[in-house]
Structure 1
Amino acid sequence: MAKLSIIIILMLPTFSLQSPYIPPEIQRCSRAFLTVSSLWRPQSYSNRFEAETEVELNWETNCDESNYIDSVALFREHPGNKGAVSLIHLPTKQYPGYFRTNITLGNTTLPGGWQLEEEEEKDLHKDQNKKSDEDSEFSIEEDEESEAEKEEQLKVRRENRRDDDSPVKGDHCLPFWIAAYRNKTLTYIDCLKIRPTWIWDHRADLGDMSLRSLFIPGTHNSGCYKKLTGLNNQSARRNSFASRFLLTQDLDIYAQLVYGIRYLDIRVGYYPSTPEQFWVNHDVSRLVPLRHVLQSVKQFLKRSPDPLILDFHRFPVGFTERRRGRRKQHKGVSPAHRLLVDLLWNELGEFSPADASMPLNTLWKSGRRLLVSYADKASREEFPWLRGEIGNVADKSKETIWTHRPSVIVIQEWGNVQNSSQLYEFLSRTIERRKKLWGPSMKSGNGDLWAAMAELTPTPMDVVFSRPGSGLRRMAHDVNRNVTRWFRDLWWQSANIVATDFFRGTNIVDVAVEANLRRSHI
């Protein structure tokens, strides 16, 4: 009977409010998981979504013969359903632990009521000549969908929502499943999923841990997500400089958070002469109005109880003045920083500041679940809430929750490397150095918040002499599977924040959830 119970646990993933702890001794060799490719396939398709977001099958290869799974299969429904038919069934030994299909996820609705209906209707019926698109560094035309297609998508989204309009906590499967087999026997099932409340779902295990002691999945250049869609001149767009070297994510901020990302890396430019003064930048190129990011964060915090870290890491345009070719640094807080800090407090002050050293249970009781890391030292010195304090804020009636804390900023460990082996060497050295600062276990939560920036960086020569098909998407594709394996097998106990490009090409959210559960039992 005990043996039968274990088989059942392996076969069916748990999506309850309080998922059971998965012990590390359960062998990963029986497991498989799905990712979404960062690449665009070069050929054209009749459907505008079918050249991107292709589903990838992944499984473990470092196994002995007796534990190695024989095959994996992809389904559009739970493999246990009566009459379920696989889309693809692969013998695993013919492939290196990975297979990229030509089956696409497409513009799939977020399940469990997590789709924002108002925003979706706005997206489906939007004016093609929006002012914000005109103001951006590059604007992309979109093919018009027929009214019938729009109405069908709206119908699906409405049916997916609850009557009370509140999303359902817990994990929710997107319409793709993977099954693993050994000796023609089904050994494991998993789905491509969203995890909008994963910290809260595991509060019984994680509630006594702090943000400093968690493994937190994040994204690099989180706001650089502008989608390039439509087939008209699509090849030229996708091989443009903008599409190859400015975009680092393929989902907007709200969707990133719903998938399970809990750290956002934002770089802000200030453009006082434009209708939208603050923009999310990739270096000196502006991509998305910052207002969209803040609204997305607020929408998510209103729906999910999970804490977040919002890292304003750089301010590349507009925050310093130039005189005769030199930058003039302000002695105090610059006017641009004052405007930005006021904007952040007005938009998100009700959720901030979180204290990185406090247990999550304390954050939930206080309602302060948003930690804003702000890289400008003068601003942190002038505005107490950027230091993790809540006294002396604009609203004097606010109760002082935290005592005086040192400035809370996220330290980014950046390798500036161009291939997978270089990234491994850099991260390995960084982890060892961080262990000396933190001790052998991250669970203590002592030390600074820090982020392993687990992505590759092109050199200027890479950009100048790049070819079609190269760029950040290709670099993410080359390293993301390795990042999953490194942090899953080697560094799960030592990581704090791990930020990636095109994060759906990794399994970093699932890796973080399991790592945190393992840490909580140490």
Structure 2
Amino acid sequence: MKRIQFPMDFKFVILLGFVCGMTGIRAGVLSRRTMRSFTGTKATNFPSAVLQTDRAIEVLRRVSNGAKAVELVDIYYEKQTNVVEAEQDQWIGVFNTVPSGKFEEVPFKGHLLAHLNKSDDSEIIQRVEVASQCIRIRTGIQVPMTNETLAKMAKEKCRGVWVASFSGKEPLLNAVNCLKWQPEWMASMSDLIGNISLADLFIPGRTGSSTQLRQSSIKFDLAHGIRYFELNIKYGPHLGSKKDFYLAGESGEVSGNLGDHIAEIRQFMNETEEILMINFVHFFGFTSQGIHDEFVTFLQENLGAWMSPKAFEPSAPLNLFWATDKRLIVMYNHLHTVHKTEFLWNPPNSELPGSIGLREEFSLLALSQEVLKVNCFLSSPNVTLLFRNNIVAVEDPVGTIVVDASIRVNYEKAINFRNSELYWNWIQTESLPKLREYTTASRANEQITKALSPTIYLAINPQADYKTAVDGQTIFIERKIELRWRGGSTYPTDEVALYLGHPASQNASLLVSYNVYDHINNRVVTEYQMPRYHFSADDPSAWTKPECLGNFYGAYLKGGEITSTNCLSTLPTWMEDNADAFEKLELRKMLIPGTHDAGAYREYDGLASDNLIVKYAITQEETLLSQLVHGVRFFDLRIGCYDTDSEFPFWINHDVLKINRFDVAMADLVSFVRNTNDVFFLDFHRFPVGFDSLDKHRRLMEFIVENLGDVMAPKSMGYNVTFGDMLTLGKKVIVAYNHKSLEHPLFWREIEVGWADANTVTELKSYMNSYIREEREKFWGLGLQLTPTELDVILDILGGLRNAADAVNPNVIQWLLDDWKDYETNIVSTDFFLSSVVTTWAVEENKRLAAASQ
């Protein structure tokens, strides 16, 4: 299954519908002043809360007049009352590229489709509708119909329309979301919802006449996340069809070729891991049981590979449908046919079911109100409590927020349910036994373990201290082994443990264990210290094979049974080891672990390392070779030139402080490229000291080419270069040089790495939330480290860069997997990288990216 994907930022939910006979592209930016004209009341009806909570929505309308169909975006928001009027201006903008940064007249790194100012008010007012506490604004933005493949929809997600909110005199971006495809939303949440029963899942659906499918297709609805369909069928051999079965309207009129839609369903089931429900409601022209039997045979011939046996029952866990690949529930509104057929299910009822985990049948809530009221209802923050039914179907689902509401509700259900005693009992008494009944025991255990168990990681805590022993010797308290865990579900009896030796080995020793509920941040720093390892450029045999450092292993335990193990392994050849999988991956789309100020390394040395200069100058503990052996593949380097140095003029600096000689570091790099086939990046980012002439730059470039020139990738290979391209040509290093006055075929332009210039984790995260949304065609990265101010250093407010890294690094994987899951990330650089576990996680993430790109 795919990794968990938590729900989208519900500050803006964007959906689709149809409008016919319209062309062109238009859009609006809506200010508080304009909103005063809309409502005829004070602007308090459009408070800041509207733009900073989850009430702003975009959808489309569906109309039929026989003309060419396009998709038209509307904006919805909930009208609030009794809210104090905000002091600053607020705006909603709709864009055709990713917006970010500051809003200006000609917007910032994103193209506004149009700008509506005060003179445009009368035109906008005509498109405003009010219902209850909700308002709809018809923006006039049109998006052409598309015929993209499901794979491309799943990969790109955003359809080219973004909505964003702004506030302030020079408006800053508050929130942004895009018009989304959702072809794989169930499978992407499989690790989270796998043990919930199908009858407890909140499923978005289409109800009403099959006639509406004439204007789109089932594929279009499936791509937007609809997972329940009601279809009417007409039998008509006299109509000339080879299959004799047609889609029908409510009165039996023919409304479409059933075969085309069945083909789309087959394609969808083949290309995704989604679970789908089809309810055949009315049958026209089925004058005998023989016609029903003929139709059932037709369904089994075309869809039988995925049709779930009704013996699974609605109370079956989702993992059962995934484990057996029986992911299509076919409901049939003909009692006799259902009774005689193994793969047909009874239709859902409309009665309110019991509580989660106790449902024994499907329940349907059909919303037939006008779309504005439906969306207002679905946008309620209490929608989880309102909808006790598990199927919520509307007549025009793509024009509502039913899919987005479903994702949110399922996420909330899973989070609340999986940590309850009811959930644990459900797994033991219902979920696991049913899996074992229909699958092999090993397959069932694999599914349960994957869904239940968090993944354990080992990290090295960056904090360091020292003490003086009785005999006067200095004892370093450093490199403490840290246990981290994420994903899966936790229970009050779960534990994490540190072992010496693999936990499965008879010789393993349990060193220490902890109850996970005593450590709410999913991390615990042990008292055990990882030894220092010194890798030599002269002895590659000591480091070219992966090795679990110190023979330490972490384990996650449920009920005393180990469900996940891991060690802190060296990763000297992780790219080469996965060459077949990574061959077609573009380097700019791989997840590359990196280090900030990579050359500012020095081991902790007690008192000498605790002065202010060293505390704020050293960013790493490992040499460049050690960083490479541990899996780092991007290096941010700052070089100083010291012509008066008799040994060697070029040093690696941290700003104006010289730290390490560059020729020593170069020997490490050369040894690595001569003994492995992995690819890495060198980003010569700044030249803070001594580069007062182009000649000195040329001398540095000549030194680099002299040592690495034969393995340096020429920039003519372009930014779409793949890992396979590099291996084929024997190129292993991409060297970027940040000096625009010099051109050389082996040196690439500087690599853009987002720098927040922030001294708090909150400010860093806020900046990156905006920065990561931009689409880029080059190599780029996230600089996930704090930057102290001069006052921070003088007063030692941060406690040094080790302390700063300890504040940032435990969050990195969570940000990437949860907060930024919808955005591609290329390079991730950190300080004291062994506390971030990015190198360990990057290997699995790149395997996932490779599989998704196939």
Structure 1 residue aligned with 2:483: 57
* Compared CA separation, residues 69 and 5, structure 1 to 2 (3 A): farther
Rounded to whole Å, the distance in 1 between the matches of 2:600 and 2:565 is 33
Rounded to whole Å, the distance in 2 between the matches of 1:253 and 1:376 is 23
Structure 1 residue aligned with 2:772: 431
Please point out which of 640, 652, 675 is paired with 1:280: 652
Structure 2 residue aligned with 1:91: 515
Q: CA deviation at 1:509?
A: 1.0
Rounded to whole Å, the distance in 1 between the matches of 2:712 and 2:475 is 38
Structure 1 residue aligned with 2:637: 266
Say whether residues 1:245 and 2:602 are aligned partners: no
Counterpart contact for 1:69–1:180, Cα < 8 Å: no
Max Rg structure: 2
Structure 2 residue aligned with 1:107: 532
Map 1:57-456 to 2 at 5 A.
57-60=483-486, 64=489, 70-96=494-520, 97-108=522-533, 115-116=535-536, 118=538, 165=541, 168-170=544-546, 172-229=548-605, 234-235=606-607, 237-275=608-646, 276-320=648-692, 334-353=694-713, 355=717, 356-379=719-742, 381=743, 383-387=744-748, 408-432=749-773, 434=774, 437-438=775-776, 447-456=777-786
Q: CA deviation at 1:28?
A: 7.6
Please point out which of 810, 813, 821 is paired with 1:481: 810
* Compared CA separation, residues 270 and 59, structure 1 to 2 (3 A): same
Rounded to whole Å, the distance in 1 between the matches of 2:674 and 2:542 is 10
Counterpart contact for 1:313–1:374, Cα < 8 Å: yes
Q: CA deviation at 1:58?
A: 1.1
Q: CA deviation at 1:409?
A: 2.6
Structure 2 residue aligned with 1:393: none
Q: CA deviation at 1:170?
A: 5.0
Q: CA deviation at 1:65?
A: 5.1
Counterpart contact for 1:246–1:282, Cα < 8 Å: yes
* Compared CA separation, residues 65 and 296, structure 1 to 2 (3 A): closer
Q: CA deviation at 1:302?
A: 1.3
- The residue matched to 1:521 in structure 2 has which SS? helix
* Compared CA separation, residues 291 and 212, structure 1 to 2 (3 A): same
* 1:211-234 deviations in Å (ceiling 9; x for gaps): 1111100000000002243xxxx3
Rounded to whole Å, the distance in 1 between the matches of 2:722 and 2:526 is 42
Rounded to whole Å, the distance in 2 between the matches of 1:76 and 1:473 is 27
Q: CA deviation at 1:366?
A: 0.7
Rounded to whole Å, the distance in 2 between the matches of 1:370 and 1:297 is 10
Unmatched 5+ residue regions in structure 1? 12-25, 110-114, 120-160, 321-329, 388-407, 439-446
Counterpart contact for 1:228–1:243, Cα < 8 Å: no
Q: Quick one: which amino acid aligns to residue 196 of structure 1?
A: P
* Compared CA separation, residues 289 and 108, structure 1 to 2 (3 A): closer
* Compared CA separation, residues 9 and 374, structure 1 to 2 (3 A): farther
Please point out which of 472, 489, 497 is paired with 2:801: 472
Rounded to whole Å, the distance in 1 between the matches of 2:474 and 2:580 is 44
Unmatched 5+ residue regions in structure 2? 1-438
Higher relative contact order (CA 8 A, sep 6+): 1
Q: CA deviation at 1:41?
A: 3.3
* Compared CA separation, residues 194 and 463, structure 1 to 2 (3 A): same
Q: Quick one: which amino acid aligns to residue 484 of structure 2?
A: N
* Compared CA separation, residues 214 and 117, structure 1 to 2 (3 A): closer
- The residue matched to 2:613 in structure 1 has which SS? helix
Q: CA deviation at 1:191?
A: 0.6
* Compared CA separation, residues 29 and 456, structure 1 to 2 (3 A): farther
Q: Quick one: which amino acid aligns to residue 57 of structure 1?
A: L
- The residue matched to 1:384 in structure 2 has which SS? coil
Counterpart contact for 2:467–2:476, Cα < 8 Å: no
Counterpart contact for 2:480–2:527, Cα < 8 Å: yes
Structure 2 residue aligned with 1:154: none
Rounded to whole Å, the distance in 2 between the matches of 1:314 and 1:261 is 20
Rounded to whole Å, the distance in 2 between the matches of 1:48 and 1:256 is 27
Rounded to whole Å, the distance in 1 between the matches of 2:598 and 2:463 is 18
Q: Quick one: which amino acid aligns to residue 201 of structure 1?
A: D
* Compared CA separation, residues 430 and 49, structure 1 to 2 (3 A): farther
TM-score, normalised to structure 2, is: 0.45
Structure 1 residue aligned with 2:847: 517
Say whether residues 1:37 and 2:461 are aligned partners: yes
Please point out which of 798, 815, 819 is paired with 1:490: 819
* Compared CA separation, residues 427 and 49, structure 1 to 2 (3 A): farther
How many residues are aligned here? 406
Q: Quick one: which amino acid aligns to residue 372 of structure 1?
A: V
Q: Quick one: which amino acid aligns to residue 684 of structure 2?
A: F
Counterpart contact for 1:219–1:264, Cα < 8 Å: yes
Structure 2 residue aligned with 1:500: 830
TM-score, normalised to structure 1, is: 0.73
Q: Quick one: which amino acid aligns to residue 757 of structure 2?
A: N
Counterpart contact for 1:30–1:69, Cα < 8 Å: no
Rounded to whole Å, the distance in 2 between the matches of 1:118 and 1:363 is 26
Structure 2 residue aligned with 1:458: 788
* Compared CA separation, residues 294 and 48, structure 1 to 2 (3 A): farther
Rounded to whole Å, the distance in 2 between the matches of 1:248 and 1:95 is 27
Give % identity.
26
Q: Quick one: which amino acid aligns to residue 491 of structure 1?
A: W
Q: CA deviation at 1:375?
A: 0.2
Q: Quick one: which amino acid aligns to residue 801 of structure 2?
A: L
* Compared CA separation, residues 361 and 2, structure 1 to 2 (3 A): farther
Q: Quick one: which amino acid aligns to residue 569 of structure 2?
A: K
The farther-off stretch of 498-507 and 89-98 is 89-98
**RMSD over aligned Cα atoms:** 2.5
Rounded to whole Å, the distance in 2 between the matches of 1:28 and 1:242 is 47
* 1:74-127 deviations in Å (ceiling 9; x for gaps): 012111111422111111111121111121112246xxxxx43747xxxxxxxx
Counterpart contact for 1:79–1:177, Cα < 8 Å: yes
* Compared CA separation, residues 108 and 270, structure 1 to 2 (3 A): closer
Counterpart contact for 1:50–1:106, Cα < 8 Å: no
Q: CA deviation at 1:385?
A: 1.7
Q: Quick one: which amino acid aligns to residue 181 of structure 1?
A: L
Counterpart contact for 1:278–1:290, Cα < 8 Å: yes
* Compared CA separation, residues 106 and 242, structure 1 to 2 (3 A): farther
Counterpart contact for 2:454–2:490, Cα < 8 Å: no
Rounded to whole Å, the distance in 2 between the matches of 1:253 and 1:48 is 27
* Compared CA separation, residues 178 and 69, structure 1 to 2 (3 A): farther
* Compared CA separation, residues 378 and 7, structure 1 to 2 (3 A): farther
The farther-off stretch of 348-357 and 267-276 is 348-357
* Compared CA separation, residues 171 and 205, structure 1 to 2 (3 A): farther
Rounded to whole Å, the distance in 1 between the matches of 2:490 and 2:659 is 50
Q: Quick one: which amino acid aligns to residue 464 of structure 1?
A: I
* Compared CA separation, residues 64 and 79, structure 1 to 2 (3 A): closer
Q: Quick one: which amino acid aligns to residue 374 of structure 1?
A: Y
Counterpart contact for 2:454–2:556, Cα < 8 Å: yes
Counterpart contact for 1:55–1:104, Cα < 8 Å: yes
